Structure 1
Amino acid sequence: MMRKKLLVVGNGMAGVRSVEEIIKNNSDAFDITIFGKELHVNYNRILLSTVLQGDTTIEDIIINDQNWYEKNNIELFTNETVVKIDKEKKMIKTDQNREVGYDKLILATGSSPFMLPIPGAKKEGVIPFRTIEDCQKMIEYSKRYKKAVVIGGGLLGLEAARGLLNLGMTVHVVHLAPFLMERQLDETAAHLLQKELESQGMNFLLEKMTEEIIGDHHVQGLRFKDGTEIEAELVVMAVGVTPNIQLAKESGIETNRAIIVNDFLQTNIPDIYAVGECVEHRGMVYGLVKPLYEQGKVLAKSVCQNETEGYKGSVLSTQLKISGVDLFSVGQLNEDDTTKTIKVYDELEGIYKKIIFKGNKMIGAVMFGDTSDGSRILDMIIKQKDITDLENVQMFQPPNMTETQVEAMDSSNIICQCNSVSKGKIIEACQKNGITTIDEVKKCTKASGSCGSCKPLVQDLLNYIQSPDFDEVIEKIPFCGCTSLSEDEVVHQIQVQNLVSIEEVVKALDWKSESGCSTCRPALNYYLAMIYPTYVKKQDSLFLNENMNATLQSDGTFSVIPQMYGGVTDAKELRKIADVVEKYNIPSVTLTSGQRISLNGVKKEYLRDIWSDLDMRLCSRNEHTVQPVRTCMGENVCKCDKEVAIDLAIRIERSMEFIQTPNRVNMSISGCIHNGAEATTKDVGVVRIDRGWEIYVGGNSGRNVKAGNLLCVTENEEEVIKLISAFIQYYRETANYLETTGEWLDRIGLIHVREVLFDEELCIVLLTRLEMETSTQRKSLALKMI
């Protein structure tokens, strides 16, 4: 296939990350050309503040050097600006009169620093803080001058101010709002931050509006609207950015605050995409690195015509890159009638935590002084996890002074949010490759290579690994022979990368086999269906809908099993079945262990006619689902009344029909204490007793017989259905693929499961999610019948 021409306008972090993702998706699809208006190769703009603070060098923040461009056959033009797009001819023109054609065009034009339109703003010594050149100017000015003013008390302004302090300058931060970082912090956290920065030597002038920058040729000071003045020999403006949309506007591309894109990062012009700070998606313009990287992944799939659910927006988090300041902020901090808040403030230790909830879900948090739970909180917000009371308590306990933050973290906890690198992945890289430095970690795993806020945490982890206290060995069991990733890591990457098909998983996670294997394909089918309820999996059996399905046998024929809820049938159904057996010469009819009639040896060419003649709901036994519920009807153990057990079995079967589970779930219901259905050795078993019903879970009646655990005793059938349904849903959400209920209970504990099910709010959440799943299934089946 002939390679198409891909042209990228912008050599910054968002544009080049998109190119990296495109190469991952399909390295042979495009000949790639990149234009960048700066003189440099792609570098990490976010880490300029660390260069200014003296923690790193400009060489260290280079993301992709010249060799990378050459290795990937990318034509790079630096110090050259695209000034015109001819969308009819699919051609661009640069400020050097160069004309280049394209098949696909990506606009990654970024943004420009906003300079206050006030008198004196163009004087010498007034600069923004955006590029390598700006950083170098500030370093040079610090050698000649001593008095600096930073206008803007946001994230960038404070990091610039800390850098200027490190360079030996006296620094005042001027801020219009009554407290610092008002978009990311509440007032309490902002005051704690101000107090800490003042102790480091920073000065603040709050609620000050700059009216004029005074001086002759070079800046000498600032005059404020209230008439007061302050001396300054260097003024750094850090009051925000403006998306670069002029090129798009002049080319007829739809814009508002920024270039408007849909969920697939497409503009209103065919074959023209946009990504990064120049983009407006669903009314939001993002300036942090993590959202831009998330956009890049979706854009790459879209450009390569791979399946994707699209970009749905990002959860924003902030971590200040200033030594000695532990600050973390994420999500929504505004409180209203629909939210609830938990706050902890230890003034003595200088620790403040606030977490905001809507229902059982966390929607925002701010932490100062102890940010050890930041990664876990961010993960919970991104995944919209329901929070238990126990987790609430754990998050607000004081930090354990006997163990470090990284020591307390689980191996699956994310250290680097930008690149989704877990603690376990870093430990594994260190143990496998002998890694001992941050630079080696960055090179091997990409951790700390983007926004840099996790760098202290990575260093803490390295210190812990090299300490006598370290006793963790990552003995990772691979998901299958196609990958070195563990099952948990695969599932996590499916979620964070929004992978929506087996093909995407195989490509994005570098599977050794392009088609997967017999181990991973069914497991991936299961996890994709759990994460994306509308996912339609490929299967070996024939399943069109509830009235049209069959199970493939080893000899190439099929078996068809009419559904008989609770094992109950009547003369009309039996006559239908008998007529079909005779008409189509079906060679074998058997009773299954689930008390159903199975028609075996059916030829494929007769299937549609058999389905039509039967005109009955069918059940498939070749799936990991809740199997037909076995009852004690027909067992001549006793003369006890069993009708109520039959009715209960029918209700449970109807509510859980075709719901996927990690492994088969065998269920039985005994109508009396004589237990004719052997309910105590099933995954879920129910036994009627004098005072109600006993519910048993985690049993096994197979080769290795195992008695089930008594979950509880309940008074009525409604409570039985409620608890069993919640149990099945919790098993679906937390068990590994092919893990039986017994193995799952051994791993997480029966007491924990009881705590979850008996928590009324959590139980309702589980039931709601199960109902959403069954509703999706019913709609899917209905569509297939049309």
Structure 2
Amino acid sequence: MGAGSEQTLVICGHGMVAQRLLEQLVQQPGHPYQRIVVFNGEATPAYNRIQLSSVLAGEADERSLALSSADWFARHGITVHRGDPVVSLNRDKQTITTASGHVEAYDRLVMATGSSSAKLGIDGENLKNVMTFRDLDDTRRLIELSQRHRRALVIGGGFLGLEAAEGLRSRGMAVTVLHRSAHLLNRQLDDTGGALLEDALTDRGMSIRTGTSPTALLGRNLVRAVQLDDETLISTDVVVVAAGISPNIELAREAGLTCERAIVVDEQLTTSDPKIHALGECCQVNGETFGLVEPGYQQAEVLAKRLANPASDTAFHSALIPSRLKISGISIFSCGEIRPDRFTESVVWQDLETSRYCRLLIRDQRLKGVVLVGDTSDGLWFSERIQQADDISAYRDHLAFGKHYCEAA
């Protein structure tokens, strides 16, 4: 449209990253969009998905999840269509069509379609009581199932799987976790850290089986058992699949946008169509995809500036994001590299009585990675040393004891 005409921005998806984009955009002075229209596939306004595990565990209620007040959207002239996902995109006409048949024209389009739980590719995935743990509806359903059933099996020992397992355990269920790698949180912890976490969860009543994978989910209508790759059968009433994510790219792919594992965008979050942008879990920058919310927030800040001023040179560059988790009262922190190579030295500190563990990876007098289990109070300080690539020579002998010892040295 020409200068002075009404500009319309359409956003497909309304998760945490899309909401952060809206918040950042309305703060930009003189942004050009008289109309901002959001299509949300869920019936609930954008909410804090990170806290779903607390809701599942009974530590928080749904009201605490809200990211904005009810009148926030009206005050900023934003229209949100709930429970009506975008199902097709016509790039020639610059229109989208929703599941209800609503057609909306756009001047700029943002795809924030997120991701879905990865499929296992085995028999029985469509049986009743086989669940994922991705959204509020999943959480509500798992709470309801926990009130009627006794046993649950979680497939996946990553962050999401362990949070689901702990939530169901807190609800009184007997929980088994299956993880195909040799130790839990294998992307965040080394072997020792993973073993300490497994021991702690086992002590709290959780059953952990690592180095094993399911080959089939068994039952007629309801799931009744899981068959493992060693032919073992584990009886269960509920199965939660948390074995990775798949970016939601079907809409973009069908519209002819360049897609690989996710929707390919440049460092300005622009797709192969200059009128269309993507961010969050559905996008891919320089070959990298993103499963954490923090990179999505960084992308939202960049894209808000670009949408407000297309001449802006702001760009997204992937940064080192620490991993933090507290499960069953056990704090975990990791950042950077977690396994040594032949050029890396390890500094290890462990207290067997309290199950506290620290592993630092050092190369060329620079801290390259940290794994902490139990006491994570110095985690952010360690991550700063990694990101700033400080020379640690002056306090290397004190490094394992943390910030205060190093500053005193």
**How many pairs were matched up?**
403
1:331 to 2:331 alignment: no
Inter-partner Cα distance in structure 2 for 1:33 and 1:391? 54
User: Do the aligned partners of 2:31 and 2:308 also contact (CA within 8 Å) in 1?
Assistant: no
Closer, same or farther: CA 391–8 of 1 in aligned 2, 3 Å = farther
Tell whether the 8 Å contact from 2:179 to 2:210 is kept in structure 1 after alignment.
yes
| The one of 117, 122, 128 aligned to 1:113 | 117
CA contact (8 A) 1:161 1:171 kept: yes
1:127 to 120, 128, 131: 131
Deviation string for 1:666-713 (max 9, x for gaps)?
xxxxxxxxxxxxxxxxxxxxxxxxxxxxxxxxxxxxxxxxxxxxxxxx
Decide whether the 8 Å contact of 1:298 with 1:308 is kept in 2. Answer: no
Give the drift of 1:218: 1.1
How far has the Cα of 1:215 moved from its partner?
1.8
Q: What are the Cα deviations for residues 232-264 of structure 1, in whole angstroms up to 9, with x where unaligned?
A: 001111101110001100111101000011111
How far apart are 1:157 and its partner, in Å?
A: 0.5
Query: What is the distance in 1 between the residues matched to 2:72 and 2:86?
Result: 23
Q: Quick one: distance in 2 between partners of 1:363 and 1:280?
A: 25
Contact 2:367/2:392 (<8 A) preserved = no
- Are residues 1:317 and 2:337 paired? no
**Structure 2 residue 400 is matched with structure 1 residue 363:** no
One-letter amino acid matched to 1:330:
C
Q: Which residue does 1:163 correspond to in 2?
A: 167
Paired position in structure 2 for 1:436? none
Amino acid in structure 2 at the alignment position of 1:128:
T
SS in 2 for 1:333: coil
Give 3-state SS (helix, strand or coil) of 1:320's partner.
strand
CA distance in 2, matches of 1:23, 1:270: 22
> Offset of 1:314 from its aligned partner?
2.2
CA-based RMSD of the aligned residues comes to 2.1
Greater per-residue helix proportion: 1
- Which of 182, 199, 213 pairs up with 2:186? 182
Structure 1 residues 4, 379: closer, same or farther in 2, change over 3 A?
A: farther
Kindly report which structure 2 residues correspond to 1:142-157, keeping only aligned pairs within 5 A, or say none: 142-157=146-161
Paired AA for residue 367 in structure 1 = L
- Give the structure with the higher percent strand: 2
The answer to whether structure 1 residue 60 and structure 2 residue 64 are counterparts is yes
Rounded to whole Å, the distance in 2 between the matches of 1:124 and 1:269 is 41
Segments of 5+ residues of structure 2 without an aligned counterpart are none
CA distance in 2, matches of 1:349, 1:390: 29
1:328 CA displacement:
0.3
**C-alpha distance in structure 2 between counterparts of 1:356 and 1:200, whole Å:** 30
- What is the TM-score when the length of structure 2 is the normalising length? 0.94
Q: Is the 8 A contact 1:244 1:278 kept in 2?
A: yes
Q: Secondary structure at the match of 2:45?
A: coil
1:744-775 per-residue CA deviation (whole Å, 9 max, x = no partner) reads xxxx9xxx9xx9xxxxxxxxxxxxxxxxxxxx
Q: Does 1:255 align with 2:221?
A: no
**Contact (CA 8 Å) 2:201, 2:328: kept in 1 or not?**
no
> 5+ unaligned residues in a row in structure 1: which ranges?
400-407, 410-747, 756-786
What are the residue-to-residue correspondences of 1:596-607 with 2, within 5 Å? none
Query: 1:146 and 1:184 mapped to 2: Cα distance?
Result: 31
Q: Secondary structure at the match of 1:290?
A: helix
Q: Which amino acid aligns with 1:361?
A: R
Which structure would you say has the larger Rg?
Answer: 1
The yes-or-no answer on 1:6 pairing with 2:9 is yes
| 1:210 and 2:203 matched | no
TM-score of the two chains, using structure 1 as the length reference: 0.50
SS in 2 for 1:321: strand
Residues of 2 paired with 1:100 and 1:25: CA distance? 24
CA distance in 2, matches of 1:88, 1:391: 61
After TM superposition, the structure 1 = structure 2 runs for residues 650-661 of structure 1, keeping only pairs within 5 Å, are none
Letter in 2 for 1:20: E
User: Per the alignment, in what secondary structure is the counterpart of residue 224 of structure 2?
Assistant: strand
In structure 1, what is the equivalent of residue 19 of structure 2? Answer: 16
- Greater Cα shift, 316-325 or 165-174: 316-325
Query: In structure 2, how many angstroms separate the alpha carbons of the residues matched to 1:197 and 1:358?
Result: 33
1:27-38 map, 5 Å: 28-30=31-33, 31-38=35-42
Q: Distance in 2 between matches of 1:321 and 1:3?
A: 48
* Residue type of the alignment partner of 1:29: P
Amino acid at match of 2:215: E
**Superposed counterparts of 1:521-600, under 5 Å:** none
Distance change (3 Å), C-alpha of 1:157 and 1:309: same
SS state at 1:129 partner: coil
Deviations for 1:316-366, whole angstroms, at most 9, x for unmatched residues?
Answer: 221113241011011222322343332222223312111223334333211
Contact 1:373/1:395, CA 8 A, preserved across alignment: no
Instruction: Name the structure, 1 or 2, with higher relative contact order (CA <8 Å, separation 6+).
Output: 2
